Structure 1
Amino acid sequence: MAVSAGTVMPAAADTDPRGYLKIMKAQEMWKVADGTGITVAVIDSGVKLVPGLRSESVLPGVSFMEPPLEHPDQQYPPHDDFVGHGTTMTAAIVGDGSAGGPQGLAPGAKVMPIRTSIGTPMAFAAIGESAKGVRYAADNGAKIINLSIGGWWSLDKIRSAVEYAQSKGVLVFVAMGNEGDGNESANPIAALPGVFGVGAVDLTGEPLPSSSYGHATDLAAFGSKVQLRCTDNKGWCVADGGTSYATSLASASAALVWSAHPDWTANQVARVLIQTAGAPVDGSKRNDWVGYGVVRPRMVLLDRAGDPGAPDVDPLAAPAPAKTPTPSADQTSAAPRRAESAVAESGLSWQWPALGAVVAVSLGLGITVLVKRRRR
């Protein structure tokens, strides 16, 4: 699926692209915790320090971009971004809300940018580069890893890298993808054991039609109209952020909870996020569109809800729930079920980052048979 940021309307044209912050009670949450002390690694297309991002919120980071064959000595700094996707994800977490950009959900956190070849002709290398990035993040203080990218290339490499990060106590969030539209499909990275696959909903809690879904979905977050970087990373625009943005909001939600409870482990943070999520209205414990529900960190910070439980037990390690029936043709013509009070909280529905003229991250039929196995 080759995707670019596209041409969308200027941010000023939207009346309230930050509406999800009000629903999530962000201002009230920040009085309790704002993400301070937590580092989120954003493995993506890099980050450009544009208006709306403060330099003190972004760490030096690292780049694993492969140079083009004709220029083997070419260097690519992590603080650059050809397409703006990584810049948008960073701003969704720690942006200052100025210059038409988004206000980050965890403004006190730090983002560690890890740049890959997304948005370049060398994008086929991005997943392998991401595997290196996962290991780097785990070794350099990241508590949370945000992967708003996907694909099946080098899946074995990223699988072992994720297992390594988990062994170091790191929490990993991965976008489900934006190839829904009635077709069950999912990012294969999201199907890895212990990884949290994130779907996207709108302000009403309705899953975005484009949001990929399946067994790998664990949580959901807002992904509708938001501020994102315009084409070629020039200025802020308003458009759907998709599961990419939703994943950043899920990562930021974890940062808020962890900031409030720094003694908790990744398993405990994950457990309370599951327990306090806005559950599916169909009465199931989870379904394939929103997983266990829409993230609601305010329930933990403001209502003191959730039991962190055992520090060394993965909350996804329980037997996988029964498969949610695949919707019939007439069901898929309607919007999927919404999450209860999902209007409560979520993240942006954007397209996958551009992967060059020929190669793209593909989330097609070949991976729909993947079943998420819980880490034991």
Structure 2
Amino acid sequence: MWAISTGTVMPAAADTDPRGYLKLMKAQEMWKVADGTGITVAVIDSGVKDVAGLRSESVLPGVSFMEPPVEHPDKPYPPHEDFVGHGTTMTAAIVGDGSAGSPQGLAPGAKVMPIRTSVGTPMAFAAIGESAKGVRYAADKGAKIINLSIGGWWSLDKLGSAIEYAQSKGVLVFVAMGNDGDRKSGGANPIAAIPGVFGVGAVDTTGEPLPSSSYGKATDLAAFGGKVPVRCKENTAWCIQDGGTSYATALASASAALVWSAHPDWTANQVARVLIQTAGAPVDGSKRNDWVGYGGVRPRMVLLDRAGDPGAPDLDPLASPAPVKTPTPSADPTTTAPHQADAANAESGVSWQWPALGAAVALSLGLAITVIVKRRRQ
């Protein structure tokens, strides 16, 4: 087992346009059709800090499941606080207003339900168990989408049963694949192997997988994870960094919110199915691959081009994706290319690397077992 992990902010790289991916995704045009209104996305992470760039009306009160330390059993940890800024960044990627250097959220009309865990603290190993509580809470409180831009091995059985419960209530769950793509194993986040969840990889604006993006059989979709505004300097400012698969997952969640907002009568299976069908197909000609899954999310295909067949409301699209015409390549961050073997050497200084923030625990045989278990719901 491993301790919980998230991205760690490192010095900013090149000064690039942080909103370029929104232009490529035709966000302004999509927002004329749907902006996420009526959809709640639960962000289970390190909390959210009330900062410039986040409108108070976009963020719900939320809840914290952080356990207080033994020496201070009465110490409160409000959900609207964030030690490391990771949860704040994910929230802004979904509903940010673009002011003060913040991201402009892809689904600005949606609501974010912040659910705070011990991510970013010395007790980070407890965060997966806390996340299990958060998943159940989100499902009971009306969230349609759950965003898990975190990874780890601790308490996977609890999280798995909680996700199954959420799915029984019609909730769609997105999970970051991780940022350990330079490992021979692919470094895939074990949470992504839980049946029915959508593992999200990261690509750049050309559709190439980021060298840091973890990969494997659990990858289902991809989204932009390059240079974006993230919280930095101990969550006191916005800096331009690589967002990695954490940010990509937030964009996948926001994409689902846009589609669901336009089609509120659809089920989670139907929303997921059209995201798969309209994703930018891998340019190697395969239906899917281990680096981008079925391809980069393209909600514009659903909202603007009216593409995709929602299909049966109760049929899991991961178990049997509906056949559709292969999408044509496009110049947005969803036309994906095969991962190159030497890609890990193509970029240095990659941020959001998912180092363990709690006590590291040695790998066991559970690694191989978890990764190769068939991950589709039966």
**TM-score in terms of structure 1 length:** 0.89
- Are the counterparts in 1 of residues 180 and 354 from structure 2 also a CA contact under 8 Å? no
C-alpha distance in 2 between matches for 1:102 and 1:245: 11
Is residue 2:208 matched to residue 1:206? yes
Shift of the 364–144 alpha-carbon distance from structure 1 to 2, 3 Å rule, reads: farther
| CA deviation after TM superposition for structure 1 residue 15, in Å | 4.1
Percent same amino acid at aligned positions?
83
SS at match of 1:300: helix
Aligned residue among 1, 9, 12 for 1:9: 12
- Are the counterparts in 1 of residues 90 and 246 from structure 2 also a CA contact under 8 Å? yes
- Are the counterparts in 1 of residues 117 and 127 from structure 2 also a CA contact under 8 Å? yes
SS at match of 1:255: helix
SS at match of 2:139: helix
SS at match of 1:226: strand
| Structure 1 residues 181-200: aligned runs within 5 Å | 181-183=182-184, 184-200=186-202
**TM-score in terms of structure 2 length:** 0.88
- Are the counterparts in 2 of residues 131 and 158 from structure 1 also a CA contact under 8 Å? yes
Shift of the 78–364 alpha-carbon distance from structure 1 to 2, 3 Å rule, reads: farther
- Are the counterparts in 2 of residues 277 and 296 from structure 1 also a CA contact under 8 Å? yes
Shift of the 236–135 alpha-carbon distance from structure 1 to 2, 3 Å rule, reads: same
C-alpha distance in 2 between matches for 1:363 and 1:213: 20
| CA deviation after TM superposition for structure 1 residue 317, in Å | 1.4
- Are the counterparts in 1 of residues 219 and 293 from structure 2 also a CA contact under 8 Å? yes
| CA deviation after TM superposition for structure 1 residue 235, in Å | 0.4
Q: Which runs of 5+ in 1 are unaligned?
A: 320-329, 337-347
Q: Which residue of 1 aligns with 2:100?
A: 99
SS at match of 1:273: helix
Amino acid aligned to 1:76: Y
Q: Which residue of 2 aligns with 1:62?
A: 63
Amino acid aligned to 1:201: V
SS at match of 1:262: coil
| CA deviation after TM superposition for structure 1 residue 128, in Å | 0.1
C-alpha distance in 1 between matches for 2:6 and 2:250: 19
Q: Which residue of 1 aligns with 2:146?
A: 145
| Structure 1 residues 22-41: aligned runs within 5 Å | 22-41=23-42
| CA deviation after TM superposition for structure 1 residue 7, in Å | 4.1
Is residue 2:342 matched to residue 1:333? yes
- Are the counterparts in 2 of residues 186 and 363 from structure 1 also a CA contact under 8 Å? no
Aligned residue among 248, 251, 257 for 2:250: 248
SS at match of 2:301: helix
Q: Which residue of 2 aligns with 1:260?
A: 262
Q: Which residue of 2 aligns with 1:221?
A: 223
C-alpha distance in 1 between matches for 2:362 and 2:33: 39
Q: Which residue of 1 aligns with 2:328?
A: none
Q: Which runs of 5+ in 2 are unaligned?
A: 322-338
Aligned residue among 221, 238, 241 for 1:239: 241
Q: Which residue of 1 aligns with 2:306?
A: 304
- Are the counterparts in 2 of residues 119 and 353 from structure 1 also a CA contact under 8 Å? no
Cα deviations across residues 160-182 of structure 1 (Å, max 9, x unaligned)? Answer: 00000000000000000001115
Q: Which residue of 1 aligns with 2:329?
A: none
SS at match of 1:99: helix
- Are the counterparts in 1 of residues 7 and 352 from structure 2 also a CA contact under 8 Å? no
Cα deviations across residues 331-351 of structure 1 (Å, max 9, x unaligned)? Answer: 511479xxxxxxxxxxx9733
| CA deviation after TM superposition for structure 1 residue 27, in Å | 0.2
Alignment RMSD (CA, Å): 2.4
Shift of the 3–258 alpha-carbon distance from structure 1 to 2, 3 Å rule, reads: closer
Q: Which residue of 1 aligns with 2:331?
A: none
Q: Which residue of 2 aligns with 1:317?
A: 319
| CA deviation after TM superposition for structure 1 residue 369, in Å | 4.0
